[in-house]
Amino acid sequence: MTKNTPRAGLGRIGLLVVFVMIGIAGLVAGVLGHDPLLRLVGRRESSTDQQADSTGSQAKQLWTCGMHPQVIREAPGLCPICEMELTPVQSGSSTGAANTGERKVKYWWDPMMNPPYISQEPGKSPMGMNLIPVYEDEIMAGPAVTIDPVVVQNMGVRIAPVIEGPVRVSIRATGYLEEPEPNHLDINLRIAGWIQKLYANVDGMRIQKGDPLFDLYSPALQVAMQELIASRRSMQGAGTSATMPSDVMRAAYDAARRKLELAGVDQAQIAEIESAERVPNVVTFRSPMTGHLTEKKVYEGAAVEAGQLVLRLADNSTMWIDLRIFEQQLPYVRIGQKVTATVEAMPGKEFDGEIIFIHPHLDEMTRTALVRSAIPNPELQLRQEMYATVLIEAVVAERGVLVPREAVIETGERQVALVAASGATFEPRRVTLGAAANDGMVQVLSGLAPGEAVVTSGQFLLDSESRMKEAIQKHLSANLLQPPGASPAATQRETQPAARIIADAWTPAIDSITTEYLKMAEILGAKQEAPTPVDPINFIEAAKRLAYQSTGEVEALIESVAEAATTLAGKPIHDQREAFKKLSDAMIALVQRIPPSKAVGERLFIAHCPMAPGNWLQTQEEIRNPYYATSMKRCGTIKGTILAQETGP
C-alpha cells in the first residue's frame, strides 16, 4: 500500500488534467461558435465572412465568349453564335459610395468661368460665385476595378498627377514669303514722249529714293518748260517795263508750274527748270522710294504714251507670310500677337514678327483661314517665295487643369480617363477636354481635379476590364442571364416585375425588327432566276425605334444590329448575302436576350450553314439557306430554338 500511494496520487492528478483540458476545449468551441462570445473575447469576423453573411452567397462565376462578349452565361458551354468554348470571367461590382447610397463629392467648380474654375474645397470662385459640387456618380464612366499590384506592375501601368497651371498653346503653321502689297509702286507716264536714257534697266536692281530712273523727251514738256522760264523772266522785268499787269504775269507763271506738276515732274526739278536760262532737252524722272525693280516694261529709246506703265518698284524691308490656320485653332490667334519664323535657307536663325491680318472667311475645302504675319527684313535676307515655318504661342488660360494627352481615351462619343484611387483601384471618369496644351498636355474642363492621379500607360486594359464589369452588372441587374438548360422563354417568364414591364414595353419594337429581318431572310433564301437586292430601310427604321426606347446592354445590341444592317444598303445581292452573316449574328444575340412574342411565331429556329459559314434565323424547321439559295438551298442544320416570350399578366 505504501508503494502504491504515489502512483495512485499521480493517476488522480492526470485524470484531473484531462478533465481540465476537455473543459477548455469545450469553452473554446463554444466561443468560436457563438457570436456574443466572439465579441466578448475580442475576435471579429473576417471580411469574407461578413461579405458572405451580407450577400447570402459567394459571387457567381460567369462565362463569356472571347469573340462575342455580349454572350454571358452562368455555366460553361459553347457560344451560341460561333460555338467557341466559353471562358470564365469575374462578375465583380463597384464598391464605396455607390453601394452605400451616399454621394461622394469629387470636386467643386464654377462652370460659368471660362475656363471653368475647379477646386478640391468648397468656397467661392474668383468671380465671387459659390462653387457647385460635382459628385462621383455624375462623372464615373464605369465601375471601379481592383487589380493585384503585381499584375499592375506586369501590365506596365504608369501614373501621372493631375496638375494646375497656365494653359499655353503652340500653333505651328507654314507659308511662303511675299512682298507686301502696299509696298509696290507703279511708274506710269502722264504725257507722251520718248525714253532718251533708261537708268533702271535690269530687273531686280536695287534703287534708292531719288535715284534717276529714265530721261524723257516730250514736246509737250518742252512747251511747258518754255512757258515757265518765260513767265519767270516776265515777272523779273516787271519793274522796268510793265507791259502787262503783275497779276496776269503771276497767273501765267502759276499755270506753267501747274502743267509740269501734272506731267509728273517733282518740285525740285521744277525749281531747277525755273532757274535755267534755256529749256533742257529732257526731263529726268527719279525714284520716289527705296526698293528694287520688279518689272521693266520699256527699253531705252522706246516711244511711250500717256498712261503707259514703264516701271514697277517694290520695297521688301518688311515681308509678309501668309499662313493657313485650321478653324479649331483660330480662337487662339489674334491681331498683334507675336510670332517667330524660321526659313529653310537659314537654319537656326529666327525672325520675330506679329499677326497683322486675319481673313474673315473660311476656306470650305481645307477648313482653314488666311492669317498674315509681318516680319521685319532690315538686312534684306528674306526673299519672296521662301518657305517659312511660323510658331504662334498663345496663353489660353492663366489657370487650368492639365493632364498628359495619353491619359485620355477617345471613344468617339466621350473621353474617359482612368483615375488611380487608393491601393490598386482604378476608376474610369468621363472628362471634357479643352485646348491641347504644350509639352503633350491637354486641358481638362471637367471630370478631374488637381492632385488626383491618372493612368498614362496600360489604361486600355484597365478600361476593358471596367467595361466587362459594367456589362456583367447590367446583365445581373436586368436578370437577363440564362441558367443552364433553360430556354429563353422560360428565363423571360422568371424575370422580376420591373424587368418584365420593360420587356413588355419593348415587345412591339422587338416584333417589328424581327419581322423585317425574317422578310429579308425569306427573300435571300428564295430561288429566283434574276435575284434582286433586298431593301433594308424598313429594318433600319425598326432598329432606330427600338434603340430610342432601350438602354444598357439592349441598346448596345441594337447598335450592333443597326450597324450591320446599314452594310446591306445599296449593294448587289451577292454582297448582301455576305453582309447578312454579321446581321444574323447580331439578331441572334438580340432575340436570345429578348425574344419576340407569339405574334411573330411560336419559336424561332437558329440555323447554321458550315459551307458559308454562317448562321441565321427562320420560323420553319425546313432549311431555307439565305447564302446559297440558288445552289444549296437545303444546306444547313438546326442548332437551336428560341421560344416566344409570354406577354401580358
Write the pLDDT tens digit of every residue in 449-481. 888 888 887 655 655 555 555 555 555 544 444
- Domain limit, last residue, from 283, 314, 345: 314
Grid coordinates given for 93: 461590382
Kindly provide the b/e burial profile for residues 465-487, where b requires at least 16 CB atoms within 10 angstroms of the residue's own CB: bbbbbbbbbbbbebebbbeeeee
Q: How far apart are CA 17 and CA 88, in angstroms?
A: 54
Direct distance between the N- and C-terminal alpha carbons of the chain, in angstroms, rounded to an integer: 92
Q: Which residues pair with 202 in a beta bridge?
A: none
Alpha carbon distance 45, 231 (integer Å): 126
* Distances from the Cα of 514 to the Cα of 489, 540, 585, angstroms: 16, 11, 13
Q: Which three cell numbers stand for residue 649?
A: 399578366
Strand ranges inside 148-264, DSSP E: 158-161, 163-178, 184-188, 193-198, 206-207, 212-217
Q: Coil, strand or helix: which one is 540?
A: helix
- Per-residue DSSP letter, 460: H
Contacts of 490 (CB under 8 A, 6+ apart): 643
Residue 293's SS3 state is strand
How many other CB atoms are found less than 10 A from the CB of residue 342? Answer: 16
pLDDT score for 439: 80
Q: Which residues of 184-195 are buried (b: 16+ CB within 10 A; e: fewer)?
A: eeebebebbbeb
Which of the residues in the chain have pLDDT under 70? 1-60, 66-70, 81-82, 89-103, 111-116, 136-155, 237-245, 412-413, 423, 458-506, 527-531, 547-555, 629-631, 646-649
Q: Is the bond leading into 649 cis (omega within 30 degrees of zero)?
A: no
pLDDT of residue 391: 93
* Domain assignment of residue 220, given as a range: 182-314
Q: Residue for cell digits 429563353?
A: 488
Q: Is residue 144 part of a domain?
A: no
Q: Report the sign of the C-alpha dihedral through residues 630, 634, 635, 640, in that order.
A: positive
Would 149 be classed as within a structural domain?
Answer: no
**How many C-beta atoms lie closer than 10 Å to residue 548's C-beta?**
10
Domain boundary at 260, 286, 314, which? 314
pLDDT of residue 86: 82
Residue by residue, DSSP assigns 135-152 as EHHHHB-S--EE--HHHH
Domain membership of residue 165 (yes or no) is: no
One-letter amino acid of 567 = T
Whether residue 416 is contained in a domain is answered as no
pLDDT at site 382: 93
pLDDT at 35: 41
Position 375 scores a pLDDT of 95
This prediction has a pTM of 0.49
CATH number at residue 204: 2.40.50.100
Sheet holding 303-304, edge to edge: 283-286, 212-217, 193-198, 303-304
Quick check: is 468 in a domain? no
φ and ψ at residue 458, rounded to 5 degrees: 85, 5
Residue type (1 letter), 580: F
Residue 337: inside a domain: no
The closest of 599, 584, 627, 594 to 68, measured between CA atoms, is 584
Last-in-domain residue among 288, 314, 340: 314
What are 398-446's pLDDT values in tens digits?
888 999 988 888 876 678 888 887 767 788 888 888 888 888 889 998 8
Residue 108's nearest CA partner among 124, 91, 89 is 124
- What local confidence, expressed as pLDDT, does residue 505 receive? 57
Number of domain units in the chain: 3
